């Protein structure tokens, strides 16, 4: 008697955007994918999907997962979580049905799947129901500090990773406590980040990296980027200066 085997959901980290920085395992899974799922903003191709252009096998079945909301609702509005929760539940139902039907699915994840990635919301809903495997990857922040040409931490430096969406008072508190800083999700929050860095005396030491490892990469002192909004793929760095021989 034939026993139907449950398929596996693979959360595959693509790394910071340069295909040369993708892992061998990620490339192998993508190149042999039967089903591929990826997040994108409505009306956009999606950076994850664009990253693997030319790598997918002929006949692969694509499942674009389009966010119902991005910046239209404030993140602290209860409707924000409610809308996204329904969205993730719908995506989970589809992926679960594929796996329970015996098919493997590759979910493309920008950066590392377990580092502020949307895949985490699928993982927690699927992991106790169907097999789920995660392929780790180089993070965008690692690509950013490499692009800056300076080590981000030395000796006993404490590295703090902050979201620019935090309230300004929280940014100031965490920035004051950290030796080295990585600030993500910049975009329209750039002026708040500047004020917080000035309040902690770290503004002059801050660097802005845009599109790390991707086409259009730029690296400059944050003080040289006054008066403009930064793109989504921007990271602000303050390098540590800790103990060294």
Query: How much is the mean pLDDT over the chain?
Result: 93
Q: Report how many domains make up the chain.
A: 2
Tell me what the mean pLDDT of segment 63-81 comes to. 78
Helix-helix angle 119-126:78-100, to 10 degrees: 60
The 3-state secondary structure of 80-118, one letter per residue: HHHHHHHHHHHHHHHHHHHHHCCCCEEEEECECCCCCCC
Q: Are residues 69 and 131 in the same domain?
A: yes
Least confident segment among 7-21, 69-83, 117-131, 143-157: 69-83
My answer on whether 62 and 165 are in the same domain is no
- What CATH number corresponds to the domain at position 86? 3.40.1010.10
Helix (H, G, I), strand (E, B) or coil at 167: coil
Same domain for 126 and 42?
yes
Task: Quickly state the pLDDT bin for 228 (edges 50, 70, 90).
Answer: confident
- Pair 108, 190 in one domain: no
For the cut 60, the answer to whether the pLDDT of residue 1 exceeds it is: no
Q: Three-state SS for 189? A: helix
One domain, residues 13 and 130? yes
In terms of domains, do 164 and 57 share one?
no
- Examine the domain organization and report whether 170 and 117 are in the same domain: no
H or E element, residue 10: strand 9-13
Average pLDDT over residues 53-62: 96
- Report pLDDT for 3: 56
Lowest mean pLDDT among 14-23, 79-88, 111-120, 128-137: 79-88
Which of residues 135, 158, 184 is at a domain's end? 135
pLDDT in tens, 100-113: 999 999 999 999 99
Task: Looking at the structure, tell me whether residues 111 and 159 fall in a common domain.
Answer: no
72 has pLDDT over 70: no
Q: Count CB neighbours of 56 within 10 A.
A: 17
Sort residue 111 into left (φ over 0), alpha (ψ -120 to 50) or beta.
left
Q: Which of 114, 135, 156 is the last residue of a domain?
A: 135
The boundaries of the domain holding residue 51 are 9-135
Rg (CA), the chain: 20
65 in the same domain as 38: yes
With respect to residue 4, please indicate whether it lies within any of the assigned structural domains: no
Domain for residue 86, yes or no? yes
Q: What is the CATH number of the domain that holds 232?
A: 3.30.950.10
Task: Give me the pLDDT at residue 81, please.
Answer: 84
Assess whether 77 and 183 both reside in one domain. no
- The answer to which of 109-123, 183-197, 218-232 has the lowest mean pLDDT is 218-232
Q: Determine what percent of the chain is predicted with pLDDT higher than 70.
A: 96
């Amino acid at each position: 008697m034939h026993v139907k085997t449950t398929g596996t959901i693979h959360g595959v980290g693509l790394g910071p955007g340069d295909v040369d920085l993708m892992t061998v395992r990620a490339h192998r899974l993508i190149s042999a994918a039967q089903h591929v799922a990826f997040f994108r903003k409505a009306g956009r191709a999606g950076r994850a999907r664009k990253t693997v252009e030319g790598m997918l096998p002929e006949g692969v079945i694509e499942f674009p997962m389009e966010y119902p909301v991005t910046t239209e609702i404030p993140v602290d509005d209860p409707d924000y979580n409610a809308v996204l929760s329904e969205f993730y539940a719908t995506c989970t139902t589809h992926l679960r049905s594929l796996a329970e039907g015996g098919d493997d699915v590759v979910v493309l994840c920008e950066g590392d799947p377990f580092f502020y990635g949307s895949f985490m919301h699928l993982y927690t809903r699927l992991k106790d129901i169907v097999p789920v495997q995660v392929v780790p990857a180089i993070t965008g922040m690692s690509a950013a500090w490499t692009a800056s040409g300076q080590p981000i931490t030395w000796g006993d430096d404490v590295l703090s990773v902050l979201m620019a969406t935090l309230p300004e008072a929280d940014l100031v508190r965490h920035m004051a406590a950290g030796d080295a800083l990585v600030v993500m999700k910049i975009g329209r929050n750039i002026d708040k980040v500047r004020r917080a860095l000035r309040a902690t005396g770290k503004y002059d030491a801050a660097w802005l990296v845009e599109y790390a490892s991707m086409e259009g990469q730029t690296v400059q002192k944050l003080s040289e980027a006054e008066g403009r909004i930064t793109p989504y793929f921007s990271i602000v760095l303050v390098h540590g200066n800790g103990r060294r021989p």
